[in-house]
Chains A and B, each alone.
Chain A
Amino acid sequence: MKQVTATMAGTVIQVLVSAGDNVGAGQDVIVMESMKMEVPLQAEAAGTVKEVKVNIGDFVNEGDIVLVLE
């Protein structure tokens, strides 16, 4: 099981995939906003989205799991 974690503290502003979607390695899956910057989060490896753990507007800390792949 692979996970995508928040690279820094911030707010989720876009969720680009949903459960069941196939994603490629390096693909942007979530966009956060932090320090007024858009911060895209990528899937490190290819897989199928098992669960999106955040909603738009959620605050996340660095290291929080935002998405689970299988």
Chain B
Amino acid sequence: MSNQMEDILRERMAQVEKGGDEKYHAKLKEQNKLFVRDRLKLLFDDEFMLEDGLFANFLAGDLPADGVVTAIGKVNGQTVCVMANDSTVKAGSWGSRTVEKIIRIQETAEKMRVPLIYLVDSAGARITDQLEMFPGRRGAGRIFYNQVKLSGKVPQICILFGPSAAGGAYIPAFCDIVIMVEHNASMYLGSPRMAEMVIGQKVTLEELGGARMHCSVSGCGDVLAANEEEAIQSARKYLSYFPANYTEKPPVTVGMAPNPQAKDISTIVPENQNAPFNMYDFIDALVDEDSFFEIKKLFAQELITGIARLDGKPVGIIANQPRVKGGVLFVDSADKAARFINLCDAYHIPLLFLADVPGFMIGTAVERAGIIRHGAKMISAMSEATVPKISLIVRKAYGAGLYAMAGPAFEPDACLALPGAQIAVMGPEAAVNAVYSNKIQAIEDPQERQAFIMEKRKEYQEDIDLYLLASDLIVDGIVPPANLRQELINRYTVYASKRQIFTDRKHPVYPV
């Protein structure tokens, strides 16, 4: 091979690696966006990167790599596959080779059994190329088909840097987690312009499909990042809790003591069953320092979901938050829990339920929204999870709340309680009212009436006394708060050998 040929190759490689026209790079800067190859540098551990299809659509001249970089690199030492849109090339739109490259990197991730990361920043399909990229066997539809097939096999992570429109909006929807960059990321089926033309609605992009809206209202986003660097660091941290694929166990790191500034567990939980407290304080006191990675922090905040480490081992936490909406379960919180439990179970991350739950919400608004159907989703996902699962009654578990938080009937490996915890169909106030309503009404003297109520509440309290429940083997143990962390560490260590096949069938009929 002559030096001349090599020179030509190097020159052409350098040309393609520069991406689109200079003016589009300038636009990136204006939008506080990074060039696709700079994003990859931040994502990967080091220089190591294998790229396929660099010369895709080379002969077109103005479509470097056909607007997408597909590569293999390392994240936290683990091999990963990546698809990354280049928005300097025709706004990151998809042509036939773009689609083929995405399909191929998916096939590679499947064969290598390694995580797949989608760095999305794309205007959608190139309408001019639709026949080649839209309807066929290896058209864009195949990308989504592959995503569905890969789900639960290898982790699929999406970072959304810009738009993800129409069909393209389904890439994030099929990923395990979606990290969105505030102000730049958006997701929608029809643009604001289309909304105005077709249904007559005037709306801004931010309202219609902005990152904050999706992370706090629709639930399509899981993590809201302030900028691209933070988004990429989030993805790296998230991956540190996950194995490369479903046949492996999550990575274990060196254990850390909890945050030394954390409050004492026994002082966090108020004795008064009805008073709010902050469940984040409880989590902070329990888990390894700085190990809590929260998922859907801004969405359905009455329930907290996130992965933390206990002595270096990942554990998925589902915790009621009495500080928000009393910790009551709603339509969105049930949906959030179902999804999170499903995620952890797929990749062998044990579950910890921290229950302080008055039950599922009642009233017209939630009944019309199908709270029963959504609650069933949560209970179904929790039942099916075969990873080690511990249910800890922090203060109370009433009604179907007990069931949803992995109560005794749902085969937790242990149902534990802190002293003072209550388990019942409902709390004493509601129960006495329900059972003795007519009698209470019939007592005319207010003092006498109050005395009757107090007496019945006391009787009820005795009926649901925690030691009675422990005596009847309903709870497996009552744990002193100071011993709680060590108790959980010991139990998860022992339960690590757990192997369970839930049942024999094709698949359940999901209550979705």
Q: Give the B-binding residues of A (Cβ under 8 A).
A: 7-9, 33-40, 61-62
Residue in B324, B330, B358, B361 whose beta carbon sits within 8 Å of that of A36 in the complex: B358
Query: Contacts A7-B324, A8-B325; is A37 near B274 (CB within 8 Å)?
Result: yes
B407 close to chain A: CB less than 8 A:
no
**A35 and B276 form a contact (CB under 8 A):** no
Closest Cβ of chain B to A67, distance in Å, is 17
Cα distance A40–B302 in the bound complex, in angstroms: 12
Q: Mark B317-354, 1 if CB is under 8 A from A, else 0.
A: 00000111111101000000000000000000000000
> Given contacts A8-B325, A8-B326, is CB(A37)–CB(B362) below 8 Å?
no
B363 sits at the interface (CB 8 A) = yes
Q: Which residues of B contact A (CB under 8 A)?
A: 273-276, 322-328, 330, 358-359, 361-363, 365, 427, 429-430
CB neighbours (8 Å) of A62 from chain B are 365
Are A38's CB and B274's CB within 8 A?
yes
Answer whether A34 and B326 are a contact pair too, CB < 8 Å, given A39-B276, A40-B276.
Answer: yes
Can you add 19 more A-B contacts, CB < 8 Å, to A9-B365, A35-B326, A38-B275?
A7-B325, A8-B325, A8-B326, A8-B328, A8-B361, A9-B363, A34-B326, A35-B328, A35-B362, A36-B273, A36-B427, A36-B429, A37-B276, A37-B322, A37-B328, A38-B326, A39-B276, A39-B326, A40-B323
CA distance A34 to B325 in the complex (A): 8
Report the minimal beta-carbon distance from A36 to chain B, rounded to whole angstroms: 5
Query: Contact: A39 with B325, CB < 8 Å?
Result: yes
Query: Chain B residues with Cβ under 8 A from A36's Cβ?
Result: 273-274, 358, 427, 429-430
CB of A4, distance to nearest CB on chain B (Å) = 14
Residues of chain B within 8 A (CB-CB) of A38 are 274-276, 326
CB of B329 to closest CB in A, whole Å: 10
Question: Is A34 in contact with B328, judged by CB distance below 8 angstroms?
Answer: yes
Residues of A within 8 A of B327 (CB): 37
Closest residue on chain A to residue B363 by CB atoms = A9
Are B275 and A35 in touch, CB under 8 angstroms?
no
Residues of A within 8 A of B365 (CB): 9, 61-62
Query: Which among A33, A37, A39, A62 has the greatest number of chain B C-beta atoms within 10 A?
Result: A37
A37 touches B361 (CB 8 A): no
Q: Are B363 and A37 in contact (CB under 8 A)?
A: no
Q: Measured between alpha carbons, how far is A34 from B276 in the docked complex, in Å?
A: 12
CB distance from A16 to the nearest CB of B (A): 14
User: Complex Cα distance A19/B507, Å?
Assistant: 58
By a CB distance below 8 angstroms, the chain A residues around B430 are 36
6 pairs, A vs B, C-beta closer than 8 Å: A7-B324, A9-B365, A36-B273, A36-B274, A36-B427, A38-B275
